Amino acid sequence: MSISHTVPPDSSRARADKVLATAFPEHSRVAFQRCLDAGLVTRNGKVIDRSAEVVSGDELIFSFPEVKSSEIKAVDIPINVVYEDKHLLAINKAAGMVVHPGAGTGDDTLVHALLAHCEGELSGIGGVERPGIVHRLDRETSGIMLVAKSDAAHRGISEQFAARTSHKQYLALVDGVPSLLSGSLHKPIGRNPTQRHKMAVVEGPGGRDAHTDWERVEVFGGNLASLIRCTIHTGRTHQIRVHMKSLGHILLGDVVYGWKASPRLPVQPTRMMLHAEHLVVKHPITGKVLDLRAPLPKDFEKMLKGLRKLEKPAATMIKRGLRSPKGPQ
């Protein structure tokens, strides 16, 4: 269905996507950019692209791309649900689960599982390959992930992430012990210029603003390892991994960024030890604050248990939110 809109009198010259998003606030600017990219927007009868600007009196006619059904089959894979309503789903993602299909993946991704769990009730904004996915976690990272069931929920959560009004905390086990109790990292992150599968701190062109606050929670074996709580204010790829490496403390098990097995460790990690522990957002429809927590998985608990045997926990604990010797609940 085509929709017509005439730019109001006395309007300033502006990009078409911005004008349409203002006139139709129920749809996002990104949605109109997709319309423009698909050649589905005309100005005074001529097709325009996303760089086009419009002025007072211009007639814009647009339609939205047809939403295609996902060709990915639903697979009944168990998922750990933390919260669910008709708009949103929050899960505690298992370490080792890939979020969405790609080269080399099978039919065991989170998207396959979501298609079965939600039975067709997933936002289409994420596209055919990753319906409902608002944000992602790396394959080896466990913890809280949000999934949108409606387009309105998808837009609302995405806007909170873009505006940096959400609250995201992770727990990381790292090699060594930072000399400070806490700190704040403002280091831009971009693609590693020589190893394209990795990210790096990049000053200058290619580096994007990245901000991580961190604090020591617990230390083990003198200077062997430490448990760090990270609060991220931006969502760059591999942000915590890159920032902690820049401090000289690689995440245990993170072989991509240079971790090597240590015979001093009582338990060897079987994956990168990073867990998305805590997420606070406003419900995009009701406005209610959602305070979501994901309990630590068994492999993370096993690592902590082994490390704590190295010396008495009472001598090494820094009481910053740990509710019991087992860690956050």
Count of all residues that appear for the chain in the document: 329
Helix ranges restricted to H, 131-289: 151-163, 239-246
| 145 phi-psi bin (left φ>0, alpha ψ -120 to 50, beta other) | beta
* Two tokens, residue 217: 């929670």
* Two tokens, residue 239: 């942000």
Strand, helix or coil for residue 115: helix
CA-to-CA distance for 147 and 90, rounded, in angstroms?
6
76 catalytic residue (yes or no)? no
CA-to-CA distance for 211 and 239, rounded, in angstroms?
8
* Two tokens, residue 319: 């009481």
CA-to-CA distance for 212 and 162, rounded, in angstroms?
16
Catalytic residue from among 17, 138, 254, 299: 138
Q: Residues 282, 290: contact at Cβ < 8 Å?
A: yes
CA-to-CA distance for 1 and 62, rounded, in angstroms?
8
Catalytic residue list: 138
